[in-house]
Chain A
Amino acid sequence: MSLRSRLFRGDSRLQACLLSDPSHVKPGDAGDFVSKIQVALGRLDDARIDALERGAKRYGPTTAAAVLAYKRKRNIVNQSYQTQADNIVGKMTIASLDNEMAQQEQRTRIVVESISCRFDGGGGNASA
């Protein structure tokens, strides 16, 4: 079983998360794999993750809150040992995120808008 969204596929850390319980992603983690989860939460749930957490690619309090909200909304609970959702990204959560991202990517187009400005129309003298 492999991750299939463009956002997640090829990421060995997230692939490990999909296959192995001890490889879950949790508060305190940091790196590109955390950043990808933050991006997915933003794109899928409009999650409001703190700009500094996003910039540092760090699984801080607002990332944890966004994960918890995502899991609660979808009732992602491992019934074998849990009665309610937690704020950790494990196998079930990464699979759900990946599936939803893959679907969204199919519907979304990326375009680049180019804006060029020139500031050299004159050349006379300033009279400040």
Chain B
Amino acid sequence: MATAWEDSVKGTKKLTVFAGSSVTGGPWASVFALALKEFNALSATHSFGVTLSASTTAPDNNGGGADVQFEAANGSISFQSFGATVSVVANGNGLSGDTQQVISVLGTKRQILKAFIVVPATPQINANPPRAVGDGVKLVIAVHELLHAAGLANADHNPNDLFNGFPQARAGSKPADDKIEVNQQKLVPPLFLTAQTAAKLKAVWT
């Protein structure tokens, strides 16, 4: 079940996203900027009630700085947030994404305070032999994880759109043709969401 962001952030209808040097200085650089743009396009289409903007200030342990941090890693990476340690171990060559939601629990009220996204530093696809995956697949991974950062949980995965919980990578004849297959052999990109997934996000932002 999706979790809302804390009221003070929710009220602004905007999340700020900081990309670390692992992103801005590597193969995710152009994908990151495009992912924010694609998320905002989906938000405009489906009226999520939230848009993303890039920030140059990393989240700090006290709750300051950007709302979301986006990093690429090979191996372990950790963050400090509100006194909690957030740790992820990434396979640098994998095709995966991890999102950690830092949540405050006050009685029955649960609200996201920060989110941390970790993607593989140099993701590869099995094209026999394996090679670097194309930007299209990286874009799908990035937007999928940004949807988690915006509040969607594991249980919110939907087989019918890019928020598929068991997506299948399909290698093209060249990296630009690599795709992610979701249900019924639909290939992304282009990115699309069903009304059901959009409604879950909208429910926690409006």
Contacts and interface: CB of A to CB of B under 8 A. Distances in A.
A6 B12 contact: no
A122 B170 contact: yes
Interface in A19-49: 32, 35-36, 38-39, 41-43, 45-49
Interface in A73-128: 104, 107-128
Contacts of B97: 116-117, 119
Interface of A is mostly: mixed
Interface of B is mostly: mixed
Nearest to B9: A42
Q: What's the interface size class on B, roughly?
A: 35 or more
Interface in B87-111: 88, 94-107
Contacts of B145: 117
A109 B104 contact: yes
Contacts of B101: 112-113, 115
30 contacts: A7-B63, A36-B62, A39-B64, A41-B8, A43-B6, A54-B16, A55-B16, A55-B57, A108-B104, A109-B104, A109-B106, A110-B82, A110-B83, A112-B86, A113-B101, A113-B153, A114-B98, A115-B99, A117-B97, A117-B141, A117-B165, A119-B95, A119-B168, A120-B95, A121-B166, A123-B168, A123-B169, A123-B170, A126-B170, A128-B179
Interface string B111-134: 001000000000001100000000
A113 B12 contact: no
Contacts, number: 176
Interface string B1-16: 0010011110110111
